[in-house]
C-alpha cells in the first residue's frame, strides 16, 4: 500500500517535470521512477536470499524446484549454505550479512526455526533492519502453526505452492502484481 501511494506521488512529480515546473527536484524523482519501474528479465533477475543454517536442507532445495519450474521467472540465488566461515558466531553473522546485502527479497524457511532459532532470528532481523521484504513459507506437509517470533518479522506468509511463491516474490521484490486468474469449470445440472 505504501508503494502504491509513493508511486502515484512519483508519477505526479514526473508529470510536473515534463511540463517544466520545479525541474530540479522533480528531475530527481523522475530518476527514481525509472529505477522503480524496471521489470524482471534474464538480464535483470530478482536477487533472492533463502535462509539457511549452513546446510542445504530439503526445504531449501525444494524452494529452487518451485522457482525453476516457473516459466519466465528469472532469479539469482545469493545464499550460499556451503560457504560456512570458520571463526565462530560473529564470522557466521558477517558472512550472512554479506550474502544478504544485495538481496531484493528474503525467503524464510520455518524448518530452520527448530534447528537454529537464533540464526533464523538474526537473518530475519537483519532483513528487516535492511528494509528487505521477507516471505515466510508455511511448514511443508503439516498444519503446524508458525511461531509469533518469525511471523511478526515477515511481510507475507505463503503456502508451498509454486505459483503462490513466484507471485509473492514478484510482488515483494519488484512490486509486480500477478494478473493470473484461476479458471474453474463446472456443469450446471
Distance between CA 170 and CA 174 in Å, rounded? 5
Choice between 56 and 142, residue whose per-residue pLDDT is larger: 56
Same domain, 70 and 154: yes
Query: What pLDDT band is residue 97 in, cutting at 50, 70 and 90?
Result: very high
Structural domains of the chain, count? 2
Same domain, 29 and 99: no
Name the DSSP class of 176.
Answer: P
Same domain, 143 and 64: yes
Same domain, 66 and 147: yes
Q: Interhelix angle for 58-69 vs 162-174, to 10°?
A: 80
Same domain, 13 and 74: no
Among 55-59, 63-67, 112-116, 182-186, the range of highest mean pLDDT: 63-67
pLDDT at 22: 41
Same domain, 99 and 147: yes
Q: Please report, for the domain that includes residue 85, its CATH number.
A: 3.40.50.9200
Choice between 37 and 151, residue whose per-residue pLDDT is larger: 151
Residue 104 lies in a domain: yes
CB atoms within 10 A of CB 77: 15
**Backbone dihedral angles phi then psi of residue 166, each to the nearest 5 degrees:** -65, -45
Same domain, 32 and 50: no
pLDDT at 127: 95
Which whole number is the average pLDDT over 167-176?
90
Same domain, 149 and 63: yes
Residue 67 lies in a domain: yes
Domain that holds residue 24: 2-36
pLDDT at 166: 93
Which whole number is the average pLDDT over 132-156?
88
Angle ∠(60,139,95) on CA atoms, nearest 5: 35
Distance between CA 117 and CA 149 in Å, rounded? 9
Choice between 33 and 64, residue whose per-residue pLDDT is larger: 64
- Helix, strand, or coil (residue 158): strand
Residue 41 lies in a domain: no
Q: Where are the beta strands (DSSP E) in the chain?
A: 46-50, 75-77, 105-108, 134-137, 156-158
pLDDT at 117: 87
Decide: 64 and 58 in contact? Cβ < 8 Å.
Answer: no
Amino acid at each position: 500500500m505504501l508503494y502504491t501511494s509513493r508511486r502515484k506521488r512519483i508519477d505526479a512529480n514526473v508529470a510536473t517535470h515534463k511540463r517544466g515546473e520545479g525541474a530540479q527536484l522533480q528531475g530527481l524523482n523522475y530518476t527514481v521512477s525509472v529505477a522503480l519501474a524496471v521489470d524482471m528479465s534474464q538480464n535483470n533477475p530478482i536477487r533472492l536470499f533463502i535462509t539457511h543454517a549452513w546446510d542445504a536442507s530439503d526445504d531449501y532445495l525444494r524452494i529452487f524446484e518451485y522457482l525453476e519450474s516457473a516459466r519466465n521467472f528469472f532469479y539469482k540465488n545469493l545464499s550460499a549454505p556451503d560457504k560456512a566461515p570458520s571463526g565462530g558466531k560473529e564470522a557466521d553473522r558477517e558472512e550472512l550479512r554479506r550474502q544478504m546485502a544485495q538481496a531484493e527479497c528474503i525467503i524464510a524457511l520455518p524448518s530452520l526455526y527448530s534447528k537454529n532459532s537464533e540464526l533464523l532470528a538474526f537473518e530475519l532481523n537483519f532483513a528487516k533492519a535492511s528494509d528487505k521484504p521477507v516471505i515466510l513459507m508455511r511448514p511443508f506437509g503439516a498444519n503446524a502453526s508458525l511461531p509469533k517470533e518469525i511471523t511478526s518479522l515477515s511481510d507475507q506468509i505463503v503456502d508451498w505452492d509454486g505459483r503462490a511463491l513466484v507471485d509473492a516474490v514478484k510482488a515483494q521484490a519488484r512490486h509486480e502484481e500477478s494478473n493470473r486468474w484461476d479458471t474453474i469449470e463446472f456443469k450446471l445440472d
